[in-house]
């Protein structure tokens, strides 16, 4: 399988592509690009629609970047993950206080994790959506405060829903339905199928 461009800053997505044996180079936003603006939510938008729209916008921006920089043509892969409590989207917390508030919402409840993946090969685009359900045990105030303050790579900051399933937060997840790698941020079954096609 020839090398691809990965338009994502997520070290977990790099790790998961390595797990698939897919050679890749990063194709990241330039300093003048407002990548965060692409993640703005819209009133009334369903979380699954939101994550697919954001992924496609990121893919379009990456393909434009590829053309602008005059880089060799290769397939471009983008992905985005969102955590949803019903219709409420839980994004990335801005600070430990917001992380704690999200963890309070998730405590003792089931939520959904949606990850969209899109691959551009020239003008052709293929996409897939992976949706999973995650149950979180009741969290004590001490556990929430401790995890919200965690500054490790698998802590809450920079993570949709304020947690990383592959880190120590897994100790509070008694059950999942769906794709573990999708919850991590790149569903390997769907990604492999898109790249094979």
What tens digit of pLDDT does each residue of 153-180 get? 778 998 999 999 998 999 999 999 999 9
In angstroms, the CA 129 to CA 116 distance is: 4
Q: Would you place residue 1 in the very low, low, confident or very high pLDDT band (cuts 50, 70, 90)?
A: low
**Per-residue pLDDT at 108 exceeds 90:** yes
Considering 80, 95, 146, 154, which one is annotated as catalytic?
A: 80
Strands (E), the chain: 4-6, 24-26, 76-85, 88-90, 110-121, 124-135, 175-177
In angstroms, the CA 17 to CA 76 distance is: 13
In angstroms, the first-to-last Cα distance of the chain is 11
Q: What is the pLDDT of residue 34?
A: 78
Asked about 146 being catalytic, the answer comes back as: no
165 Rama sector, left if φ>0, alpha if ψ -120 to 50, beta otherwise:
alpha
Q: Mean per-residue pLDDT for 48-65? A: 96
Buried b / exposed e over 113-123, threshold 16 CB at 10 Å, is bbbbbbbbeee
In angstroms, the CA 89 to CA 92 distance is: 10
Q: Would you place residue 65 in the very low, low, confident or very high pLDDT band (cuts 50, 70, 90)?
A: very high
**Alpha carbon separation from 8 to 15, 58, 61, 99 (Å, rounded):** 12, 9, 12, 22
Q: Would you place residue 40 in the very low, low, confident or very high pLDDT band (cuts 50, 70, 90)?
A: confident
Q: Would you place residue 150 in the very low, low, confident or very high pLDDT band (cuts 50, 70, 90)?
A: confident
Task: Give the number of other CB atoms < 10 A from CB of residue 41.
Answer: 14
Q: How many CA atoms lie within 13 A of 182 on its CB side?
A: 25
In angstroms, the CA 3 to CA 30 distance is: 21
Closest CA relative to residue 62, chosen from 52, 48, 73, 51:
73
Q: Mean per-residue pLDDT for 9-34? A: 91
Main-chain phi, psi angles of 3, to 5 degrees: -65, 150
């Amino acid at each position: 399988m020839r090398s691809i461009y990965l338009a994502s800053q997520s070290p977990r997505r790099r790790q998961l592509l390595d797990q698939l044996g897919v050679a890749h180079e990063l194709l990241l936003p330039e300093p003048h690009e407002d990548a965060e603006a692409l993640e703005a939510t819209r009133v009334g938008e369903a979380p699954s629609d939101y994550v697919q729209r954001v992924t496609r916008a990121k893919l379009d921006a990456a393909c434009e970047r590829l053309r602008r920089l005059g880089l060799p043509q290769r397939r471009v892969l983008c992905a985005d993950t969102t955590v949803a409590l019903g219709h409420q989207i839980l994004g990335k917390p801005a600070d430990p206080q917001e992380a704690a508030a999200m963890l309070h919402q998730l405590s003792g409840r089931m939520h959904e994790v949606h990850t969209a993946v899109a691959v551009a090969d020239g003008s052709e685009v293929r996409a897939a959506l992976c949706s999973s359900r995650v149950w979180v045990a009741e969290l004590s105030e001490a556990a929430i405060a401790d995890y919200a303050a965690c500054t490790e790579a698998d802590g809450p900051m920079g993570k949709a829903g304020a947690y990383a399933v592959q880190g120590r937060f897994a100790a509070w997840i008694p059950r999942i339905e769906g794709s573990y790698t999708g919850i991590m941020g790149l569903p390997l079954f769907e990604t492999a199928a898109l790249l094979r096609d």
